[in-house]
Amino acid sequence: MTAGAVHPGYGFLSEYAEFARKVLEAGIEFIGPTPENIELMGDKIRACKFVRRNGFPVAPSAIEEGDPATFISRARASGAPLLVKPSVGGGGKGMRIVRDLDALEHAIVQARSEAQRYFGDAAKP
């Protein structure tokens, strides 16, 4: 007996675009978002740009991508508390709550280190 459909549940498999792609390539229905949508939502910077472009409200943020030289000052300008989050990954890995702006730079270093360790990418926070 073979499966006609796969529901990935929540967490790891539901966020793994390559898994969804392989399921579809095998001729099995994938109950969930398309691999392309999984990839889009897995990249926090691209996802944020996408929702903004489509008219949805987005919480104030500072993204390192556009101007890394001023990232820390732009993040500080947002005020505390802040959430430092690598643009890749999931499951809360690399996330740091910054309640005191004096701890911001350390939180960025920690977030990058965890992103490298878990996802092989010291992605931009």
- Give residue 85's pLDDT: 84
Task: Looking at the structure, tell me whether residues 74 and 100 fall in a common domain.
Answer: yes
User: Are 75 and 103 members of one domain?
Assistant: yes
Domain that holds residue 16: 1-42
**Number of domain units in the chain:** 2
| Mean pLDDT calculated for residue range 55-74 | 82
The C-alpha angle 22, 23, 26, rounded to 5 degrees, equals 85
In a shared domain, residues 88 and 123: yes
| Segment 58-80 mean pLDDT | 82
Average pLDDT rounded to a whole number, residues 4-22: 92
Q: 36 in helix, strand or coil?
A: helix
- pTM here? 0.67
pLDDT digits (tens, 9 = 90+) for 80-118: 999 988 877 667 778 899 999 999 989 988 888 888 888
